[in-house]
Copies of this chain bind each other. A is one copy, B any other.
Amino acid sequence: MRHGLRAARRVGSWAAVALILTAATPAGAPFTPKVQSAAREIRDRALSDDTAYETLRSLTTEVGPRSAGSEGDRRAVAWALARLRTLGFQNVHSEPVKVRHWVRGEARAEIVTPWPQRLVAVALGGSVATPASGIEAEVVPVTNLTELKGMKADQVSGRIVFFTRRMLRTHDGSGYSTAVAERSRGAAEAAKLGARAVVIRSAGTSTSRIAHTGGMRYEKDGVKVPALALSNTDADMVEHQLALGVVRLRLFNTSQMADSEMSANVIGEFPGRGARDQIVLLGAHLDSWDLGTGANDDGAGVAIVTSAARLAGREGTRRTLRVVLYADEEFGGEGSDNYVKVHGGEIAHTVACTESDLGAFPIWGMASRVPMDRIVSARALHAVIEPMGIPYIGNQADGGSDVDTLGHLGVPVFDFKTDASPYFDLHHTIDDTFDHVDPKSLRENVAAYAMLAYLVAATDVDFGRIIWTR
């Protein structure tokens, strides 16, 4: 996941909404005892089903890293087509998507003075290269973008800006929503004041000496300076030396943008038997960053939504269950844009959407985003899921980066919120690997998504159209 955590900052207001609505909770009218019973059977089946785990093992072992436009990305598309067919999906196909392609090279960072030390660093996704001889300059520590904006050019010019903000570890990912600003826009803003390069303390919480990558953007006509992330350990090292005097860093980076490449959204369905044109969309993204094998981000999502749709779809549902494995969530978002372009005509009868893109960690809450007069239906749906130990946390679901575009076009959104504390230890690092996925939590995620998918697809409940206000 890239930055789909905007709504997470509003947990306070969700709680208030939830409180007001408690009195209005209906008796579960739209969901008959038969449907509820079938949903529970699907849940129980999910909790003893290793399909998701084996799907994830296959993706991470046989494909591995798959950043947009890379050879791994092409292998992932072929893998996904084959996997969906094997899992019993119908109408399995790919839809070509042109994606931005950035190629990581080598990145090195070291302290030159006062005490030479090598640092663990990675280039941020999108960063330009340094000159071949590298960049050596004095470091100017800056807490965050706000502080940078109060600085004058002579404090920054010719120097390397070091953003020191430390990401907070929070269960809802709100620490990331805040810290990602310097990663995304730090280089563009620092360049305006004449900085030669930017290094950030990783926008991540790993306590191991590994750095977190992630996307960054330059301004269209702005000056482009290299941007690297240091591991938290190495950010400490620079701060320890800064406490004792002037620090000079040497940076070297060979990453660069390349020509755009073709990738694809991969789509599969369990077609509805009564209202085939009504779509329940389950999304995840197929691409990953290149450092790990994209196990939690977002191989887990791929494994969860495919297994959930399969478990729900094999029962035979009234509406169509559609899984969309999006291209390039991490860097460009073109997969999401492309889906809306190609499927514009279907959006009016896409009855609900959801995305799994926060890893296979324990779920602590379910959110909806439906019109106010349909919250009773959302809560009735949640009431069937609630015995999994998942509370309803309000009506401000955001849906993740990919289905976000659908939400903005009126499609009702459901979220399951997973524990972001361990997620951001792994996120965008070499540690995002299969061994960091807990099979039990993965199965619980499959069960929750399978219940959601089934309850919407097996019924004719209408969640209306939402008007997105932000």
Q: Which residues in A have some Cβ–Cβ distance to B below 8 Å?
A: 57, 61-65, 114-118, 120, 206-210, 232-233, 236-237, 240-241, 244, 292-293, 429-431, 433-436
Query: Is there an interface contact between B210 and A435, defined as CB atoms closer than 8 Å?
Result: no
Q: How far is the CA of A62 from the CA of B114 in the complex (A)?
A: 8
Q: Which residues of B contact A64 (CB under 8 A)?
A: 115-117
Expressed in whole angstroms, the minimum distance between the Cβ of A206 and any Cβ of chain B is: 8
Name the CB-closest residue of B to A292.
B209
Query: Is there an interface contact between B240 and A57, defined as CB atoms closer than 8 Å?
Result: yes
Contact status of A62 and B115, CB under 8 A, knowing A210-B210, A435-B207: yes
Query: Is there an interface contact between A236 and B435, defined as CB atoms closer than 8 Å?
Result: yes
Contact status of A61 and B209, CB under 8 A, knowing A120-B430, A232-B435: no
Expressed in whole angstroms, the minimum distance between the Cβ of A303 and any Cβ of chain B is: 15
Q: Which residues of B contact A209 (CB under 8 A)?
A: 210, 292, 429-431, 433
- Other than the known A65-B118, A207-B435, A237-B433, what 6 A-B pairs have Cβ atoms closer than 8 Å? A61-B115, A64-B116, A208-B208, A208-B210, A208-B431, A240-B434
Q: Which residues of B contact A244 (CB under 8 A)?
A: 61
Q: Which residues of B contact A208 (CB under 8 A)?
A: 206, 208, 210, 431
Q: How far is the CA of A117 from the CA of B64 in the complex (A)?
A: 7
Expressed in whole angstroms, the minimum distance between the Cβ of A86 and any Cβ of chain B is: 15
Sampled A-B contacts (28; CB under 8 Å): A57-B240, A61-B115, A61-B117, A61-B237, A61-B244, A62-B114, A63-B115, A64-B115, A64-B116, A65-B117, A117-B293, A206-B208, A207-B435, A207-B436, A208-B210, A208-B431, A209-B292, A209-B431, A209-B433, A232-B435, A233-B431, A233-B433, A233-B434, A233-B435, A236-B433, A237-B293, A237-B433, A237-B434
Name the CB-closest residue of B to A236.
B435
Expressed in whole angstroms, the minimum distance between the Cβ of A44 and any Cβ of chain B is: 29
Q: Which residues of B contact A63 (CB under 8 A)?
A: 115
Q: How far is the CA of A430 from the CA of B211 in the complex (A)?
A: 12
Query: Is there an interface contact between A434 and B236, defined as CB atoms closer than 8 Å?
Result: yes
Q: How far is the CA of A236 from the CA of B293 in the complex (A)?
A: 13
Expressed in whole angstroms, the minimum distance between the Cβ of A57 and any Cβ of chain B is: 7
Q: How far is the CA of A435 from the CA of B210 in the complex (A)?
A: 13
Q: How far is the CA of A241 from the CA of B293 in the complex (A)?
A: 14
